[in-house]
Amino acid sequence: MITKDKFHIGGRWVAPAGSGSIDVHAPADGALLARIPQGAKADADAAVAAARQAFDAWAATSPAERGEYLKKIHDGLKARGEEIARTITFEMGMPYKLSLRVQVGSPTATFGMYARMAGDFAFEEQVGHSKVLREPVGVVVAITPWNYPLHQIAAKVAAAMAAGCTLVLKPSEVAPLNAFALAEIIADAGVPPGVFNLVTGYGPEIGEALVTHPDVDMVSFTGSTAAGKRIAQLAAATVKRVALELGGKSASIVLDDADFGVAIKAVVNNGYLNSGQTCTAQTRLLVPARRFDEAAALAVAAARGFRLGDPMDPATTLGPLASKAQQERVQGYIRQAQAAGCQLLTGGADLPEGVNPAGYFVAPTVFGPVDPQAAIAQEEIFGPVLSIIPYRDEDDAVGIANGTVYGLSGGVWSASDAHAENVARRLRTGQVDINGGPYNIMAPFGGYKQSGNGRELGKYGLEDFLEYKAMQFRPPKA
């Protein structure tokens, strides 16, 4: 068992104010994996004080110098990539071969991107007789989830540091060990004390203490819509800037002229990535009603092609869910859907055969045809559960796709990119994959409606951590 008993505050590893601890369990077998500190208000206060003390000096460093520190962090992540990938696999369950590429590859690339961008970004410009500056917003609290733990941390930490902000990070207590590794790498990179601070604990205690702290200028949160609403309410008392990346219920529209064999397999793979624990997962598959049977057969075949098991086994393609609570939540949705009359095509709530019964596994599951207003078609399940929804025509497909409170992502498949783009332009979502277009860390990431506000990644993520200042000069006399 791994024991972490200190926080990283003000450039030092310090003992928590209290003696509480949180157990971290391995989802593959339910075993006790680690124990971390349970932080309290006093720890939040200490971390914010350290970030506040470090802010002026860090904000005054040149963007190029900040970029040099970020490059050192990038190099440190790259050097420890295999170790961190194993850690994330152990703590949240993604198969190791995917963790290496996704859970570590993406955040490493993100630090590298902001290392380059810091020196190139236009932090000031001349507008007539005004000089417009882009200045760091100040002390940032970053609260991150467990599904892509280091990726979500990097999207906030790298951008905020590049902008000249100082931070307090509170990672999810479900998958926190990667954050401790990052803190070590940041310390080894020689980042000035207080620029980055790490605390752990539960949201209602240390999380709310951080969000309501008067010396915090901004909160950047990724997680559930319910938690995001709570954070927005708490932060409003001190008029903080709040960036929220929340839930999703993304639809992928397969148009009648698409290659169904390619498209539907790709949508199933998208929906089941990370065992469905992806906010952008396209878990609503929209197909022409007259071709429902064809689409359903292809989706079931793709779902049954996944191999569940030990996430360290190279043959495993679908790992467990991250926690017992998440497993029970997903199983509950499946049972409720069956009770409501939704037709189960494959999978189900029973523990899959051949897996460790103590692990948090859920079988890859497909329902169809599903009413667009059914709970499994409206609510974020966060598990390997796909709903196939038939549509009459393209207008109906767009209406169904837009017919949830979310607007994070989506996809459109067609024989031509132009046809798909025409439909994609009508979707009220922050991202749309055209014919399976891959993820791009240079593009803005975020959503419409109750999927949140603000954007991460690329120059757009950097801009989220900056304030405008306009300085007016006397125009020269004619």
CATH of the domain at 122: 3.40.605.10
Q: Are 51 and 61 in contact (CB under 8 A)?
A: no
Q: Are 464 and 243 in contact (CB under 8 A)?
A: yes
Beta strand residue intervals within 26-148, DSSP E:
32-37, 124-127, 130-136, 139-143
Tens digits of residue pLDDT in 64-77: 999 999 999 999 99
The partner residues of 244 in beta bridges, in order of sequence, read 221, 453
Q: Is residue 235 part of a domain?
A: yes
Return the DSSP state at 444.
-
Task: Check whether residue 123 and residue 200 sit in a common domain.
Answer: yes
- CA angle, corner 460, sides to 456 and 462, nearest 5? 80
Q: Is residue 477 part of a domain?
A: no
Q: Is residue 428 part of a domain?
A: yes
- The predicted structure's pLDDT at residue 478: 77
Task: Check whether residue 160 and residue 301 sit in a common domain.
Answer: no
Tens digits of residue pLDDT in 360-387: 999 999 999 999 999 999 999 999 999 9
Domain ranges, residue 356: 251-440
Tens digits of residue pLDDT in 23-59: 999 999 999 999 999 999 999 999 999 999 999 999 9
Mean pLDDT for the chain overall: 98
Is the pLDDT assigned to residue 476 strictly greater than 90? Answer: no
Q: Are 272 and 252 in contact (CB under 8 A)?
A: no
Tens digits of residue pLDDT in 207-224: 999 999 999 999 999 999
Task: Check whether residue 231 and residue 94 sit in a common domain.
Answer: yes
Tens digits of residue pLDDT in 411-467: 999 999 999 999 999 999 999 999 999 999 999 999 999 999 999 999 999 999 999
Task: Check whether residue 378 and residue 277 sit in a common domain.
Answer: yes
Active-site positions read: 245, 279
Task: Check whether residue 14 and residue 97 sit in a common domain.
Answer: yes
Q: Is residue 478 part of a domain?
A: no
Per the structure, the count of domains in the chain is 2
* Whole-prediction pTM: 0.97
> C-alpha distances in angstroms, 241 versus 21, 146, 163, 244?
31, 23, 15, 10
Task: Check whether residue 260 and residue 242 sit in a common domain.
Answer: no
Backbone torsions φ then ψ of 21, nearest 5 degrees? -140, 165
- The predicted structure's pLDDT at residue 193: 98
Task: Check whether residue 290 and residue 338 sit in a common domain.
Answer: yes
Query: Any idea which residue has 């909160």 for tokens?
Result: 219
Q: Is residue 58 part of a domain?
A: yes
Task: Check whether residue 396 and residue 461 sit in a common domain.
Answer: no
For residues 256-281, average pLDDT = 98
From CA 462, how far away is CA 183, in angstroms rounded? 21
pLDDT > 90: what percent of the chain? 99
Task: Check whether residue 107 and residue 195 sit in a common domain.
Answer: yes
Q: Is residue 446 part of a domain?
A: no
Q: Is residue 475 part of a domain?
A: no
Q: Are 466 and 169 in contact (CB under 8 A)?
A: no
Q: Is residue 47 part of a domain?
A: yes
pLDDT category at 477 given cuts 50, 70, 90 is confident
Task: Check whether residue 68 and residue 103 sit in a common domain.
Answer: yes
Residue 150 CB-half CA count within 13 A: 36
Q: Are 205 and 234 in contact (CB under 8 A)?
A: no
Task: Check whether residue 269 and residue 361 sit in a common domain.
Answer: yes
CATH code of the domain in which 360 resides: 3.40.309.10
Tens digits of residue pLDDT in 150-196: 999 999 999 999 999 999 999 999 999 999 999 999 999 999 999 99
